[in-house]
Structures are given as C-alpha cells and as structure tokens.
Chains A and B, each alone.
Chain A
Amino acid sequence: MAYYSNKELEIKSAELRLKLLKYIKMANAGHTGGDLSCIDILNVLYNDVLNVSPDTFNDPGRNRYIQSKGHSVEALYVVLASKGFFPESDLETLSKYNSHFVGHPTRKVNGIEFNTGALGHGLSISAGIALAGKMDNMSYRVYTLLGDGELAEGSNWEAAMFASHNKLDNLVAIIDNNTLQITGKTAEVCNPYPVDERFRAFGWDVAFVDGHNIPELRNIFKEVPFTDGKPSLIIANTVKGKGVSFMENVAKWHHGVPDDREFSMAIDELEQNLETIKNSVYADNR
C-alpha cells in the first residue's frame, strides 16, 4: 500500500469533502452531515489501514470494512472511487434511474462487502466475518463503522455480547460519534451515553479519538487490539457537517442538500481549507 504523509492524507480529506459535496449536489440527495463527519475516518481506513484495492478485493485474507451506518454512503463512494474501484465519473449517476449508486451501500458497487443501511446490522455481520477469520486462522481484521444514533438498535448489543464472548479481538468497531441524529441531539433522543462504559461492561476495550485528527486516527488504528482477546471499540468524536461552517453541528444537515448559494459557500470554504493545508508547513511524522 502506498504510504501517505499526514499532510497528504489531510489534503485527500479536503479533496474528498469537495467531491462528496459535488456529487450530493448533482444528485440532489445524500446524507451530507454524516458523510462529512466520517470522511476522515474512511480516508485513514482506506489509505493507511485496510490495505484493500481492486486487485486484492477478492483475496480471502483481505481486511474487511462493513459500513453499518450505510446512509453515509457518499463518503464511501468517493473514497472507493479514489482507490480505483470504479471511475469517479460513475458517481454522476448517483441516485439516478437504474444506477448502482443508490443511497445505501450495495455489492453491485465494486469494493462494497455487504448491502447495509438498515441500522443495527453491521456489527453482527462483522462479528460473523471475524469469527470465520478465527476459525480459519486468518490474520485479517474486520472494521465496522456505526453511528451514535444507531446504538439504539438492540441488535448492536446482541452482537456486542457475542463478540466479547467469542474473544473476537480481530473485530474493530468505530463509532462516528457526531452526537446528533435526525431528530436532534442523540443524548436527548434516547441516550446511549456513556457509550464507553456500556461497551466495557459488554466486554470490549474502548478508546477515544478525535475523529478529524489524521495523525491521531492513524495512531489509534495501530494500537488495535487494545487488549488481546477482546474486541476493540474506537469512539471517534466527530462533528456532523465538519468542514462546512454553516452545516457543523446542525441536525437538519443530516440529509440536507445545499441550495445553489449554500453550495457555492460550502465549496469556497472547502477550497480555501484545501489551499491552507497545501500551503502549511507541516511537522510531519513521516
């Protein structure tokens, strides 16, 4: 896998934000807020952790990524396109008649492992893949991304119990903890917090990370499993709508699509941010 410096990955994140916004605008549909909150996580996973590419995608030993919060699919699409799983221009068909690029992941799109989007499914699926890996003495890991609102689905807790019972330390769950869901603050809808204590009580080891800090994300993924014999949970503290000021921490951008004026404001801000990163003198840890 090509090695990227932190600065290169930050540039990628900025570019991916621009792209996902462009395709959401083109489709006039998408889960903008959550896409922007998880894009740095996906960037780091695909460019520093997973080591999957179109060439290795059918390798039984590949690392797996299951996107349980399937609605943030535009983030996944732009990352997969940048990895060469399909031409980026395919995304011009997003949400259009007869396109494979629908609003939740499906296996019709190269690079996607499972059809997800109904919440509370990814952790069980990932636990099954992790268990198969243990049975077959494979060294792959399974990474799955959950939303904070999604934690209200009881099936997550069935899977959490199962994963620790079976000592699935090759399973890594990441919560895109943007603290909002469609109705408002997750804590006020049906409070899942403290998530860390709850998962620890279910036999997991847990760490927090700033979900927008590229070096921190890279480091935390190097530390899994946090404890041998236990599944790992990374609670990535994120900002819904991250990178576009007027979208940040505003629940209505859960699946809001910017109008023309908002779109050009958002693009301006993201392009400026991209320039700033490019021009920054970065104390790289390469």
Chain B
Amino acid sequence: MQITDKLILGKANLEVYSETLIELAREDRNVLAVTSDSRGSAKLVRFAKELPEHIVETGIAEQNLVGVSAGLASCGKKVFATAPACFLTARSLEQIKNDVAYSGFPVNIVGISAGVSYGALGSTHHSLHDIAALRAINNITIVVPADNTETCLSVKAAASSDKPIYLRFGKKPMPHLYGTDDRFEIGRASVLLHGDDIAFIACGEAVAPVFEAAQLLHNEGISARVISMHTIKPLDKETLITAANECSGLITVEEHLIFGGLGEACAAALMEEGVYIPFQRVGIPDEYTVTGSQTDIFRHYGISAEGLHASAINILKRTSKN
C-alpha cells in the first residue's frame, strides 16, 4: 500500500475465517470444524447450518476437543479445532503438544477472540500467553493474521498443510492492509509499507494501529517501514534483519505479553546475527491488564497510533542518525 492511502475497514478476521471455511468445506468433504460450544463466538453458526456434516461439537471440553481433533486428523480429516484462544492454548496445551505436535498430525488449532479481544471480560478470557506457550513446542507453525487478506490466505494454506498450525484471530473489524501487489506466504513476512527511518514489526490486530502511526510519522517527515510478521514461528529472519540494517530503530508490536512473543523472537534473532539497533517491545507488560475494552487496553499500553508514534520518536532520539 501507499502511506497516503486511506484505510478502508473490512470485516472481522473471524468472519473471514468462517466464510473461507465454508468455501473450503463445500469443496472438500474432509474439511471439518470442531467446536466447544463456541460456534457462536467463532462466527460458525452459518457454517453449521449450511454444512451440518462438517461440524463436530464437543461441548465445553477443550481437552477432548483437541484429542478428538487429533484422532480425526490421523484419519485424513482437515480439522479446524476452534475455541477461544484463552482456553484452547492453556487448558488443552498438553493435547496440542502430545496429540497434535509430537504425534505429528496436521490439526489446525484456531484460537478465536485472542489477545484482549474479550477485553472487558477480564483476564480469565485474555490470551496473552499463547504465542509464548506454543513457540516453546516443536512442530507447530504459528500464524497471526492482521487483516482479511492474511486471514483468508492463511486458512487456505492451513487446510492444505501437512503440518500442525496455530491460527490466532481477533473479533474486531480490521482495515484492509494489503494492496493488490502484496503477496502472502506463510513463513515470509509482508512489508506493507516501505520506509527507512523506523521499522515496525507487528502481528495480528496490532498491525492496524501501526499503520496509523506510520501515517502520523509521515506527516512529520519520518518514514516508517511496516512489516506484518504474521508467521511468528518459523520467523522470517531475513526480512527482519534487512529492516534492522536499513532502518535506524526497530519496534515490535503485539497483542501479547512482552515475554515470549514476537518481540523476544525478533530480539533473539537480531542478537544472534550481531545486528545491534535501538529496539523496543510494545505489548502487554507483566501484569493482569487494566480493565476495559480492547481499544482501551491497547491505548493504555501504547498499542495505538499516538502511543506508537511516541515510541518511534523516542527510539529515533536514541539513534545517531537523528
């Protein structure tokens, strides 16, 4: 896209997940959604009505949901095990580890209403640990789509993948962030805006405010590179390191605790490559979040156009270039 492009609001990524799944399931009898009384929150009500043979309901039982999904996948089913990320990646973490990743069956683990999507419901319903937990498990790809395009293409890629994958979706309508020329590929970060003063590496619903921050910075003559690091594992080190070499500072932005998430993954990769650059992680600090909606929580912790603008200015003050 261009920095001057006005952002056009699309749908919630979850809606696009559901639409894409309907499209896939119509074509392939083996595509299944497995839900834990979560079809409503997962926007799968229409899916279930149109394709009743394609939905498996476990009731509120996430451990069983993942175990059943692994069993189905071992028989060639293309399973989308769909439940709120907060429960799916905590209560059933052992099933994800053993039945899916260690056993090596390509279940698509779909964490819905992730991060602080359920902001006002409180910390029981937040998943700010999921990326960290799953990064520490071998043999599972982690993808956090930013917009409708990334959602649609990652769901399609997941359906035909022979490897376990975690897909993480929020429920807020997202602006379209992909231009017609932008390409999406799992494992390859997308540079959504080109710039060489400051680099933002972000994922999921945190990418949209980064885009807005880039526009604020642009008005002040600062050019920002905006990278959607939708695949957190395996991390696209090449795009990361190029950004670090070409920009004066680097900020990671994620809807996750700053421990174990995208920021730490990037920091480790940079250190090991010997790339030293003014660097900041923006995310949720080590606390149960302030109360409020997702927007409130984002603003409170600086995951907003203004907050990220301020972070960029701060980082650039630390560089020799400015």
Q: What is the distance, in angstroms, from A117's C-beta to the closest C-beta of chain B?
A: 8
Residues 49-79 of chain B: 1 if any A CB is under 8 Å from the residue's CB, otherwise 0?
0000100101101011011111111111100
Who on chain B is nearest to A66 by CB?
B71
Q: Is B104 close to A, CB under 8 A? A: yes
Binding stretch for chain A, among B91-99, B186-194, B212-220: B91-99
Which of B53, B68, B94, B102 is the one whose CB lies under 8 Å from A127?
Answer: B68
For B66, what are the chain A residues with a Cβ–Cβ distance below 8 Å?
124
For A126, what are the chain B residues with a Cβ–Cβ distance below 8 Å?
71
Interface residues of B in 178-235 (CB under 8 A from A): none
Given contacts A107-B104, A118-B98, contact A127 B71 (CB under 8 A): yes
- Contact check, A132 vs B77: say whether CB atoms are below 8 A apart: yes
For A125, what are the chain B residues with a Cβ–Cβ distance below 8 Å?
67-68, 70-71, 74, 99
A205 and B98 CA atoms in complex are apart in Å by 29
Interface residues of A in 133-184 (CB under 8 A from B): 133, 135-136, 154-155, 158-159, 161-162, 165
For B74, what are the chain A residues with a Cβ–Cβ distance below 8 Å?
113-114, 125, 128-129, 132
Who on chain B is nearest to A142 by CB?
B71
- Contact check, B69 vs A158: say whether CB atoms are below 8 A apart: no
Who on chain B is nearest to A119 by CB?
B94
Q: Is B291 close to A, CB under 8 A? A: no
- Contact check, A162 vs B71: say whether CB atoms are below 8 A apart: no
Q: What is the distance, in angstroms, from B60's C-beta to the closest C-beta of chain A?
A: 9
A120 and B63 CA atoms in complex are apart in Å by 9
A118 and B70 CA atoms in complex are apart in Å by 15
- Contact check, B67 vs A131: say whether CB atoms are below 8 A apart: no
Q: Is B245 close to A, CB under 8 A? A: no
Q: Is B161 close to A, CB under 8 A? A: no
A115 and B63 CA atoms in complex are apart in Å by 16
Count contacts on B: residues with CB < 8 A to the other chain. Answer: 26
Given contacts A114-B70, A128-B69, contact A162 B59 (CB under 8 A): yes
Q: Is A186 close to B, CB under 8 A? A: no
For A120, what are the chain B residues with a Cβ–Cβ distance below 8 Å?
63
Residues 43-74 of chain A: 1 if any B CB is under 8 Å from the residue's CB, otherwise 0?
00000000000000000100000000000000
- Contact check, A132 vs B75: say whether CB atoms are below 8 A apart: yes
Q: Is A116 close to B, CB under 8 A? A: yes
Q: What is the distance, in angstroms, from B59's C-beta to the closest C-beta of chain A?
A: 7
- Contact check, B76 vs A124: say whether CB atoms are below 8 A apart: no
- Contact check, A124 vs B98: say whether CB atoms are below 8 A apart: no
Q: Is B314 close to A, CB under 8 A? A: no
A118 and B66 CA atoms in complex are apart in Å by 14
Q: What is the distance, in angstroms, from A38's C-beta to the closest C-beta of chain B?
A: 20
Q: Is A121 close to B, CB under 8 A? A: yes
- Contact check, B75 vs A129: say whether CB atoms are below 8 A apart: yes
A107 and B64 CA atoms in complex are apart in Å by 21
- Contact check, B75 vs A124: say whether CB atoms are below 8 A apart: no
For B104, what are the chain A residues with a Cβ–Cβ distance below 8 Å?
107, 115
Who on chain B is nearest to A126 by CB?
B71
Interface residues of B in 82-120 (CB under 8 A from A): 94-95, 98-99, 102-104
For B72, what are the chain A residues with a Cβ–Cβ distance below 8 Å?
128-129, 131-132
Who on chain B is nearest to A108 by CB?
B104
For A162, what are the chain B residues with a Cβ–Cβ distance below 8 Å?
58-59, 61, 64, 68
For A159, what are the chain B residues with a Cβ–Cβ distance below 8 Å?
64, 67-68
Which of A127, A132, A165 is the one whose CB lies under 8 Å from B67?
Answer: A127
- Contact check, B75 vs A136: say whether CB atoms are below 8 A apart: yes
Who on chain A is nearest to B79 by CB?
A128
- Closest 5 CB pairs between A and B? A128-B71, A124-B67, A132-B75, A158-B64, A128-B68
A-B contact pairs, 26 of them (CB 8 A): A106-B102, A107-B103, A114-B74, A114-B103, A115-B103, A117-B98, A118-B94, A123-B67, A124-B71, A125-B68, A125-B70, A125-B99, A127-B68, A128-B70, A128-B72, A128-B73, A130-B71, A131-B68, A131-B71, A132-B74, A132-B76, A132-B77, A135-B77, A155-B67, A162-B61, A162-B64
| Interface, chain B (partner A; CB < 8 A) | 53, 56, 58-59, 61, 63-64, 66-77, 94-95, 98-99, 102-104
Further 9 A-B residue pairs, CB within 8 A, beyond A128-B67, A158-B58, A162-B59: A113-B74, A115-B102, A116-B98, A125-B68, A128-B71, A132-B72, A136-B75, A162-B58, A165-B59
